[in-house]
């Protein structure tokens, strides 16, 4: 019985460690390299100068022609794909929860997000008129 409880605790700690590792790896500034919104690729002009800054569990997203977005995020690395819950602290989506999925591979961070009130996406693509969006970020040099 104790062995099972100890093993269960160890697994939980390891899974929590994955989210902590991802959180640590995401710290800093990221540059937008591609994206799509509602099934349509973002233009080079929209992508240009796109910036994501993560400090602790706080994020700030700046994309040309769009309102600056800030908030907090919570990662869950135990899910497949890994999940992210964001809560905006300013703008039109203030205090609304945004559900997403993410993938972190080295200096590339890929994320797919649902509009507030919609179900979490299950893949890194969007459908026409869905309101979902997907971004690919590269660590800023």
Per-residue pLDDT reduced to its tens digit, 69-105? 899 999 999 999 999 999 999 877 889 999 999 999 9
pLDDT of residue 101: 97
pLDDT at 9: 32
Query: In the prediction, which pLDDT does 4 show?
Result: 38
First to last CA, the chain: 50
CB neighbours of residue 35 within 10 Å: 22
CATH number of the structural domain spanning residue 67 = 2.40.128
Alpha-helix runs per DSSP H in the chain? 2-26, 44-47
Look at the alpha carbons of 17, 94, 47, 141 in this order and tell me if their dihedral is positive or negative.
Answer: negative
Number of domains in the chain: 1
Smallest CA-to-CA distance from 73 within 91, 59, 55, 62 is with 59
Q: Which residues does the chain have with pLDDT short of 70?
A: 1-17
CA–CA gap between residue 44 and residue 14 (Å, rounded): 40
- Structural domain harbouring 92: 2-139
């Amino acid at each position: 019985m104790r062995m099972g409880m100890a093993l269960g605790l160890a697994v939980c700690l390891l899974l929590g460690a994955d989210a902590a590792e991802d959180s640590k790896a995401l710290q800093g500034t990221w540059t937008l390299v591609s994206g799509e919104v509602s099934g349509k690729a973002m233009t080079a002009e929209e992508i240009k100068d796109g910036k994501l800054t993560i400090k602790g569990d706080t994020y700030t997203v700046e994309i040309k022609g769009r309102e600056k977005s800030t908030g907090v995020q919570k990662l869950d690395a135990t899910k497949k794909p890994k999940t992210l819950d964001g809560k905006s602290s300013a703008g039109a989506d203030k205090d609304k929860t945004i559900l997403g999925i993410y993938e972190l591979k080295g200096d590339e961070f890929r994320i797919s997000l649902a509009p507030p009130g919609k179900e979490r996406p299950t893949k890194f693509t969007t459908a026409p008129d869905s309101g979902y969006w997907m971004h690919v970020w590269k660590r800023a040099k």
